[in-house]
Structure formats: C-alpha cells, structure tokens
Amino acid sequence: MNTNLKISNVTKIYPGCVANDNVSLEFNSGKIYALLGENGAGKSTLVKILSGVIIPDEGKIYLNEINLKLNSPLDAKKNDIGMVFQHFNLFETLSVFENLIIDSDEQREVLREKIDSIMRKYNFSIDLDIPVLNLSAGQKQKVEIIRCLIRSPKVLIMDEPTSVLTEQETSELFLSLKKFSEEGILIIYITHKLKEVMELCDEVAVMRRGKLVSVSEIKNENIESLANKMVGQNLKTIKKKKEKNSSVKLINITNLNFISEDPFETNLSDINFSVNRGECLGIAGISGNGQSELFQVLSGEIISDKNSIEFNKNYIGDLNPQERREYLMAFSPEDRLEQAAIPQMAIYENVALNNYKSSNFFNNGLINENKIKEHSKKIISDFNVNTDNIELKSQFLSGGNLQKLIIGRELITSPDLLICFNPTWGLDVGAINYIHETLIKINEQNKSIILISTDTDELLKLSDKISVIHKGKLSKIMDADEVTSEKLGILMGGGN
C-alpha cells in the first residue's frame, strides 16, 4: 500500500526565533527523502513535530489524507510514524530487550520472537540481554531501529543518524534503509552531510532559517549546488597546501600507558608517537576507543609518568593542564559546554579562565575586568564570533560560535601545540569551514596540531600524518597522502 505524508503550513515559533516558518511538504512511500539544512535550520524541529515531541503553533499533518493529531510521541507511534533520534532515546542501564519492549503491550515471549525475526531478516546481531551501555553507537542505533520496526511503521524518520557511526556502519545503515524503502516504508532522512544525501536519497528538501528553500530530485543536484542552497551563499572550498614540514620534533610520547579504575573507560597501552613543528597529526577512531582518555592524558587532566611526554625538550608528563599551558600547549576538549567552557558564566569570564595564572587579568587577587573584556573583544573580532555582547552567558552561544570562541581563546596566546578533540562535532558547514581554515593557518605558522577526531573526512583534509586508535592502542603512523577513508575504516574496526 502506498503511504502519503503531507505537512501543511506548519509554523513553530520560539521566543526570538522562528524554527519553522510556514513549511509545507509532501512525501510518498517508495522513495528516500532527505531533509537537508545547517544546524538551527529547523529540520529537527520539523521532524519532532512529526513524531509528536513538539506541538506546532499552526499547521496540519496528513497521513494518507487523514488529519493526524500528534500531541505526544505516543500519538505518532499509534499512527505508524517511527523516529530514530539523533541523541538516542535509550535507557543505558536497562537491557536491550527491556529497551525494546517498554512501549509495547504484547507478551514478552511474543515480542522476543518478533525481535528475533526482525534481526534475522535484516542481519542484525545484538545480544538482547546485556545492558545498552555496553553497546557501540552503531548497535545502539540498531536497537532504536528495531524498536521502530516492531510496530511495523509506515514512516521511518532518521535524525542525523550517521553522526556517531563509522564508515562501515554507515554503509550498513544505508543498505538497511534501502531495504526498508523497497518494502514500502516511507523514509525521511535528516542530515547536514551532503555526500550522504547524494549517495542515499531520491529527493531532497533544503531548509534554511526555518524556511523551506527548495525541493528537488537528487539527479538534478550535485554537492556544490546543495551546499550553496543550504548556506545561502557560495562556499569556497578549502584545501591544505601540503608542504615539506620541518623535522624538528615538538612533542614526543614514549611508552605512555593509562589504566583506568573505571570499567567504562578505555585503558591506553603503549602509546608512542611524535609530532614535528608545523605538522598536524590526526588520530582517527570510532568514539569510545580511548580518544577521550588520550586527550585527557595529553592535556594533563590525567597525570602520567613524567618521562612519557617530552614537549619542547622538557619532560611534562606529571604536570597539570595549567602548568602545561605555560609551556605553550593549548587544548580544545570535545565537550564544549561541559569541559571547555562554563555554561552559566559570561563570555569574558570564560576567556579569563584558561589563563588565570600567567596573564595580567588579575591584580593582587582582584579581577581586572577591563583588561579581560578588552582581550575578549579582540578574540571575538579576530575569530569571527558572531556576537558583540561579551557579557552573554556562554550557554547561549551556538555551537559554532562557542567553538570559535574556545579556539580563539586558546590560540590568542600563540601556543606551539594545539590539541583538539572533535573540534567540529555537530557544527554546520559554515562554522566547520571556518574552524578548518583556522587550523590550516596554525600549521602554516609552523605550529603543530594533534587532531583527535571521529570524522574521517576532516582528518584526511587537515592531517599530515594519521594514526588510528582502536581499543586504546595506536596503529602505526601513516602519511596522510597514502591513506584512504576505506583503509582508515578497516583500521578503526580493528582490522589490519
């Protein structure tokens, strides 16, 4: 049977922002639809309206000509609309099976059989009786998908599903989605990754600032045309000039080990690498393979053996982050609002935090507010942070602006080495471009970068050398020119 889903004149207004401005769209089963847009374009709001999480201010939803009243997620489920959220809606401490059956009224035995048959049909293999927190991101996503499939949905919505997946997991997901589509499930795929749209989808709707900009068939589009529609202007493509780097070693890690007492952390074993001046070392890997531990060890959040880290001919393994900063290291952690900045504090206060010791921000224990504000304004203008209010609490900055602020804060002291962890995670194309340009500029100034990232495209674009971390171990260090994303994918999965 054909499924027809119609969104008619949907508007949702938040204080200070129109998330959806009179959006109308129509979908038919048998096709995979992409909903494309930058962060904040309103695509997540739109699909949350479809799944009953958000109630629109105006507008109607029709499924097969029937007007749906979607006042809660339950209503969407009852009407055969399934959704896999960007941030998983799983209960980490419950078992996989418990997660799957929680919204169903059927008998446990019946459900177990149903789940088994779904897993067989689509070649999923997940142990149903272990807690969800032991699963990889890809497996967690499969759990979410199975949870939708149990209800045999007519519509399946995927909200940025690949942001946590590896290349292999992504292609597996695409195969499954194509299969679902052939079986008559209408698929709406939300993303800001253009490559995926080209690869997977049949039709694409582009949103920008809450408005629907265009609807077109994929065969009439290419990556550039979609990017320009999405951003609303012509994007320049950036490329790193690969030059001959100096061979002066800046940082040298020897036999670095970290054994965690927390069973949910990854142990690091026998890490060895070095980075030359002006070089960018990329560290790839599936999240949860020791990246965050490695970052913490490098930044001094976790102290290690004094001799295991040699920086600029000093042994600094036992120093804390502040002391390491005095040796001209700088850090940009993964979690911008939890680790890098304090959300409730103003921009200028956050700026003062990383340099409270060496700077002249403080006189005799008192805050020199004027100095800090002056300094903050310089960062904001130098690094293109889109605000002029330095007293704004940092939680109100968008991800891109916050990341620019943090990178700016770190770079304004002109450090010799910047260590960053997923610097463009969750950012939109414009902000990503800016961060990438900045990172390339650092290398051009003969300063070094250690880039820990789960985004292989980013690594291939920016790195001079690449290594892969898997289960707390680093692979051998390769020249970026000789590496392909396929090869990285294999190493990331633990292959050779």
Q: Which residues bind other proteins (CB under 8 A)?
A: 51-55, 72-74, 77, 85, 88-94, 98, 101-103, 131, 133, 262-264
Quote the least distance from Cβ 158 to other proteins, whole Å. Answer: 15
- The Cβ of residue 218 has, within 10 Å, a number of other Cβ atoms equal to 19
Quote the least distance from Cβ 493 to other proteins, whole Å. Answer: 25
Of residues 91 and 396, the one with the C-beta less far from other proteins: 91
Of residues 262 and 482, the one with the C-beta less far from other proteins: 262
Quote the least distance from Cβ 265 to other proteins, whole Å. Answer: 11
Q: What distance in Å separates the CA atoms of residue 23 and residue 11, rounded to the nearest whole number?
A: 7
3-state SS class at 31: coil
Nearest by Cα to 283 from 295, 299, 265: 295
Q: Is 250 left (phi over 0), alpha (psi -120 to 50) or beta?
A: alpha
Quote the least distance from Cβ 155 to other proteins, whole Å. Answer: 16
- The Cβ of residue 441 has, within 10 Å, a number of other Cβ atoms equal to 11
Quote the least distance from Cβ 37 to other proteins, whole Å. Answer: 21
Report yes or no: 346 and 392 within 8 Å, Cβ to Cβ: yes
Quote the least distance from Cβ 55 to other proteins, whole Å. Answer: 6
E strand or H helix that includes residue 268: strand 268-276
Quote the least distance from Cβ 226 to other proteins, whole Å. Answer: 30
Of residues 150 and 283, the one with the C-beta less far from other proteins: 150
What are 237's two structure tokens?
Answer: 């493509």
Of residues 75 and 416, the one with the C-beta less far from other proteins: 75
Report yes or no: 440 and 451 within 8 Å, Cβ to Cβ: no
Of residues 73 and 493, the one with the C-beta less far from other proteins: 73
- The Cβ of residue 198 has, within 10 Å, a number of other Cβ atoms equal to 16
Of residues 2 and 267, the one with the C-beta less far from other proteins: 267
Backbone angles phi, psi at 65, to 5 degrees: 70, 0
Q: What distance in Å separates the CA atoms of residue 455 and residue 283, rounded to the nearest whole number?
A: 10
Of residues 85 and 331, the one with the C-beta less far from other proteins: 85
Of residues 77 and 470, the one with the C-beta less far from other proteins: 77
Q: What distance in Å separates the CA atoms of residue 3 and residue 154, rounded to the nearest whole number?
A: 7
Of residues 90 and 491, the one with the C-beta less far from other proteins: 90
What are the respective helix, strand and coil percentages of the chain, to the nearest 5?
Answer: 35, 25, 40
Quote the least distance from Cβ 53 to other proteins, whole Å. Answer: 6
- The Cβ of residue 59 has, within 10 Å, a number of other Cβ atoms equal to 16
Angle at 300 between CA 299 and CA 302, to 5 degrees: 115
Nearest by Cα to 450 from 466, 430, 461: 466
Quote the least distance from Cβ 102 to other proteins, whole Å. Answer: 6
